[in-house]
């Protein structure tokens, strides 16, 4: 570059507040660097550059001494820094995009925990006429926790990844992602709620598909009549529908296990803790020829004391009620008998040709992060523990609900005996994912209809095989819905 234009470029760079260097700066450090560089360059214009360059500037600079120019440069740069600082406060100039957890975020864990534990109160202007849907167990309550975890559970999957049907052709369950299986075993070992040694993992599209796969696998293919499927009332409302929907010749719904007296083989579905009432369940029929399926979707520390390690032939779990990721549609079965596991895999192969590998990878990452926080329990950073935070959140919700119910005589709730939780190393109270609410008023025959009249949607007792005086209410909705529910219960009883 010729000396003459180069000289004037440097001078303009030193004192021009719209210089390209400033416009590309994105931090205070860059601005300070700009200040020092511009001052240095200004000195160079007078002390280093050739005489012709200096001569061309003489007319412009004749009224200034070097000292005056340095003062002017300093004043300009200070003004630029101050302007950038105040503009930055308005526009997020000094914000930093975080791709992972920060030290400050870790230090503020307990503050975030308090936020998670608070039940948001709706404003005075909240529309109390809005319908609250607590019929389904959509676990949106957990959103806050996973937002707090930031990008630790983020999974980036390239377009060429997981294109094949097959995950591991050597595995009995050929569509099971090895990483997902690894994290399932790791989580159960950490929590201590289920035996995994000598078990085969069968992954399913939620536990619903696994229930159907289990019914298929446990039913004799050459039986003279369909296998009887039973469960003790109040039972999960979908069991009768699932058993009868396909009108299969292999099995059919036979009703309440307490009144089942038919001779011959049967399948008993045991949900423990139970959905809808939250009690721990044991087999009811308990005679020869029976096949048992233990649905342990709620056997986690936030819902019930982990009093023992479940050791059954066939147990079902789901990520839905564990972490709240219902949309991923991932469940798993721990199966002792390899022949039963093969039949379950065959059903899923015919039904959906395997299980989404992408969902498994996401679930594996979530379980990995969850277990990482679990293994920190009892240490100084245990405030991040998923089970610790969700346990206290459920405890607070149940405390508020019982206070609202006990404030009148219209409703009642079950009472649960406490138990020692080996995971939390303390005695804890069961605090189910659903409230089994009973309308005690003699004038109310159908509690579901009664609550609907107050714009509260719940699932009535008839669907669970019991009196319509009962309703099942989800405890896992967002804060705003739960808060409005408490307000309406109080208003009903006032």
Helix, strand, coil fractions of the chain, as percent rounded to 5? 45, 15, 40
C-alpha torsion sign, points 295, 297, 301, 304: negative
Confidence of residue 71 (pLDDT cuts 50, 70, 90): low
Answer yes or no: are the C-beta atoms of 331 and 354 closer than 8 Å: no
pLDDT of 466: 98
Tokens of 82: 């101050």
Most distant CA pair in the chain, distance:
114
* Residue-wise pLDDT tens digits, 302-328: 999 999 999 999 999 999 999 999 999
Q: How many CB atoms lie within 10 A of CB 227?
A: 21
Confidence of residue 223 (pLDDT cuts 50, 70, 90): confident
Nearest to 178 by CA among 208, 206, 197, 203: 203
Taking residues 382-402, report their average pLDDT.
91
Mean pLDDT, all residues of the chain: 82
CA–CA distance, 191 with 294 (Å, rounded to integer): 18
Crossing angle of helices 357-374 and 178-191, in 10° steps, is 30
Which letter does DSSP use for residue 70 in this model? H
Q: How many CB atoms lie within 10 A of CB 66?
A: 13
Answer yes or no: are the C-beta atoms of 312 and 294 closer than 8 Å: yes
CA–CA distance, 391 with 385 (Å, rounded to integer): 10
Tally of residues, the chain: 494
pLDDT of 44: 40
Q: Which residues on adjacent β-strands are paired with residue 434?
A: 474
Buried/exposed code over 138-166 (b: 16+ C-beta within 10 A; e: otherwise): bbebbebbbebbeebbeeeeeeeebeeee
* Residue-wise pLDDT tens digits, 405-432: 999 999 999 999 999 999 999 999 999 9
pLDDT of 30: 40
| Segment among 95-99, 124-128, 287-291, 368-372 with least mean pLDDT | 95-99
* Residue-wise pLDDT tens digits, 184-208: 999 999 999 999 999 999 999 999 9
Percentage with pLDDT > 90 across the chain = 70
Which stretches of 48-175 are DSSP H helices?
A: 51-61, 66-91, 103-107, 109-117, 143-148
pLDDT of 482: 97
HEC states along 308-325? CCECCCEEEEEHHHHHCC
* Residue-wise pLDDT tens digits, 16-69: 444 433 333 344 334 334 444 444 444 444 444 444 444 444 454 455 455 665
Confidence of residue 94 (pLDDT cuts 50, 70, 90): very low
CA–CA distance, 455 with 458 (Å, rounded to integer): 10
Which stretches of 353-445 are DSSP H helices?
A: 357-374, 386-405
């Amino acid at each position: 570059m010729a000396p003459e234009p180069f000289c004037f470029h440097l001078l303009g760079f030193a004192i021009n507040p719209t210089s390209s260097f400033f416009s590309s700066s994105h931090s205070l450090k860059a601005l300070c660097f700009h200040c020092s560089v511009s001052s240095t360059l200004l000195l160079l214009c007078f002390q280093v550059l050739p005489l012709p360059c200096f001569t061309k500037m003489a007319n412009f600079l004749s009224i200034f001494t070097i000292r005056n120019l340095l003062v002017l440069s300093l004043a300009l740069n200070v003004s630029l820094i101050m302007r950038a600082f105040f503009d930055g406060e308005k526009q997020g100039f000094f914000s930093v995009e975080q791709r992972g957890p920060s030290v400050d975020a870790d230090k503020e864990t307990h503050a975030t925990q308090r936020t998670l534990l608070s039940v948001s109160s709706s404003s005075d202007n909240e529309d109390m006429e809005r319908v609250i849907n607590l019929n389904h167990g959509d676990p949106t309550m957990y959103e806050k926790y996973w937002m707090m975890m930031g990008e630790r559970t983020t999974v980036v999957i390239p377009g060429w990844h997981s294109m094949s049907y097959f995950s591991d052709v050597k595995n009995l369950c050929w569509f099971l992602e090895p990483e997902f299986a690894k994290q399932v075993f790791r989580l159960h070992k950490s929590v201590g709620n289920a035996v995994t040694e000598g078990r085969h993992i069968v992954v399913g599209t939620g536990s619903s598909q696994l229930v159907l796969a289990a019914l298929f696998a446990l039913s004799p293919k050459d039986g003279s009549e369909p296998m009887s499927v039973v469960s003790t009332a109040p039972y999960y409302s979908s069991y009768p529908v699932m058993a009868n929907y396909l009108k299969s010749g292999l099995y059919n719904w036979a009703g309440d296990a307490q009144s089942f007296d038919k001779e011959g083989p049967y399948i008993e579905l045991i949900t423990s803790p139970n959905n809808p009432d939250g009690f721990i369940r044991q087999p009811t029929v308990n005679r020869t020829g029976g096949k048992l399926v233990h649905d342990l979707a709620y056997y986690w520390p936030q819902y019930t004391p982990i009093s023992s390690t479940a050791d059954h032939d066939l147990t079902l779990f789901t990520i839905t009620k564990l972490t709240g990721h219902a949309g991923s549609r991932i469940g798993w079965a721990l199966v002792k008998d390899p022949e039963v596991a093969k039949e379950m895999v065959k059903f899923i192969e015919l039904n959906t040709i395997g299980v989404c590998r992408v969902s498994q990878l996401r679930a594996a990452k979530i379980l990995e992060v969850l277990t990482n926080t679990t293994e920190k329990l009892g240490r100084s950073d245990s405030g991040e523990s998923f089970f610790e935070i969700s346990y206290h959140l459920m405890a607070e919700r149940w405390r508020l609900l019982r206070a609202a119910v006990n404030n009148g005589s219209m409703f009642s709730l079950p009472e649960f005996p406490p138990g020692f939780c080996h995971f939390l190393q303390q005695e804890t109270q069961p605090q189910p994912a659903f409230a089994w609410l009973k309308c005690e008023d003699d004038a109310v025959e159908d509690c579901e209809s009664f609550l609907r009249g107050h714009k509260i949607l719940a699932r009535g007792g008839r669907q669970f095989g019991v009196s319509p005086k009962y309703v099942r209410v989800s405890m896992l909705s967002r804060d705003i819905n739960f808060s409005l529910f408490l307000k309406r219960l109080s208003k009903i009883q006032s």
